[in-house]
Amino acid sequence: MLRVGMLTSGGDCQALNATMRGIVKGLQNIYGDLEIYGFIDGYKGLIYGKYKKLKPEDFSGLLSKGGTILGTSRMPFKEIDLPLPDGTEKIPSMKETYKKLKLDVLCVLGGNGSLKTANRLYEEGLNVVGLPKTIDNDIWGTDMTFGFQSAIDVATHAIDCIYTTAESHSRIFVVEIMGHKVGWITLYAGIAGGADVILLPEMPYDIKKVYKAVEKRMKDKGFAIVCVAEGAMTKEIAKLPKKDKKAVLAEKAQKYPSVAYEVADLMKEKFDSDIRVAIPGHTQRGGAPDAYDRLLTSRFGAKAAELIKAKDFGKLVVLKDNVVDAIPLAETAGKLKYVDLDNQAIAEAKTLGICFGD
């Protein structure tokens, strides 16, 4: 019999339930008998000992169900050693819950910050296995995180819908795609949706180059689509020292609800055409996982079960060159996987005439 704890932490995404289902199916086949403790709302549940006791049957039918049956919340790693407002110490409480429930292992489904906490718990002596969750695909050490492909599908569909209405009305549309620090979703959905301009956080833009691309597109086709990642910024701002940059961005946040409105304003300075903003927002994290994510998380779940069987803890399940593998949590903790500027997809997009404003 195995006593397994599970939690989902950070922003949700489409295949969290599918991942848990994969882990449970794998473990059930290996161990037969399981006691499953699903902690409510991420690390909070582990801290306060709030959990659902689940049976393997509870994971049936979850392959295609979005969201997370456990709930989730954010708990910044930089505050991990600070007590909660009620004085509760986080790490000692989590260790206590783990010990009280006599868990054999804790599976953490999370993004960068959550995996840092998972690594810390491993260093504190708990048996931990991590699974790479995030629509942003920014976890270092894995080619793919679960949620990413589903988010690309949603964002691409949003651009498709904008495309037809932009064409009908001869408008310029600024479509804002999720990603504050990294632009993977914007890059891939932008290409898949046929955007004319793609602006990424990793590639600060020159507005004059964006104008030129939009001008050409308006002349050729009469409508244009600019895809902008939440964290995109101009070259001038990117060049500023950290403190000044923070101040300028804070000022902009006062003026604009988000970056797409700022880019739309810049467009208004140059073009007489109608300009509109479209923001798919959290729809990119919602709904059912696509087939790719269902396959990926089934494979990830099986790997997690194998790691647990081998008592190979402190590891993160990853995909490398289409092989499912595992790397030490310590190796990935604290590193982000940015869009590399020599990425082949960027070069290809440029060949197709897509402007990055660089």
- Cite the active site residues: 136
Among 75, 129, 178, 288, binds ligand F6P (CB under 6 A): 178
Contact status: 268 vs ligand F6P (CB under 6 A) = no
User: 285 vs 294, which CB is nearer to ligand F6P?
Assistant: 285
Work out how close the CB of 55 gets to ligand F6P at its nearest, in angstroms, rounded to a whole number: 30
Q: Which of 185, 138, 128, 136 is nearest to 326 (CA)?
A: 128
What token pair was written down for 255?
């003026």
Work out how close the CB of 111 gets to ligand F6P at its nearest, in angstroms, rounded to a whole number: 6
Angle at 358 between CA 337 and CA 240, to 5 degrees: 75
Give the footprint of ligand F6P on residues 200-239 (CB under 6 A). Answer: 230
Q: Which of 169, 240, 198, 242 is nearest to 353 (CA)?
A: 198
Contact status: 293 vs ligand F6P (CB under 6 A) = no
Contact status: 263 vs ligand F6P (CB under 6 A) = no
Give the footprint of ligand F6P on residues 84-123 (CB under 6 A). Answer: 111
User: Tokens 């059930």 — which residue?
Assistant: 28
Torsion of CA 324, 325, 327, 329, to 10 degrees: 50
Contact status: 155 vs ligand F6P (CB under 6 A) = no
Name the residue whose CB lies closest to ligand F6P.
Answer: 178
Work out how close the CB of 336 gets to ligand F6P at its nearest, in angstroms, rounded to a whole number: 11
Q: Please check whether residue 303 is in contact with residue 23, taking contact to mean a CB–CB distance below 8 angstroms.
A: no
What token pair was written down for 111?
């993004």
Q: Please check whether residue 38 is in contact with residue 54, taking contact to mean a CB–CB distance below 8 angstroms.
A: yes
Work out how close the CB of 135 gets to ligand F6P at its nearest, in angstroms, rounded to a whole number: 5
**The sheet that has 224-229: what strands, in order across it?**
197-199, 224-229, 172-177, 275-278
The 124-143 contact track toward ligand F6P, x by CB under 6 A, reads ----------xxx-------
Residues of the shown chain interacting with ligand F6P in the complex, contacts defined by CB under 6 A? 11, 111, 134-136, 178-180, 230, 285
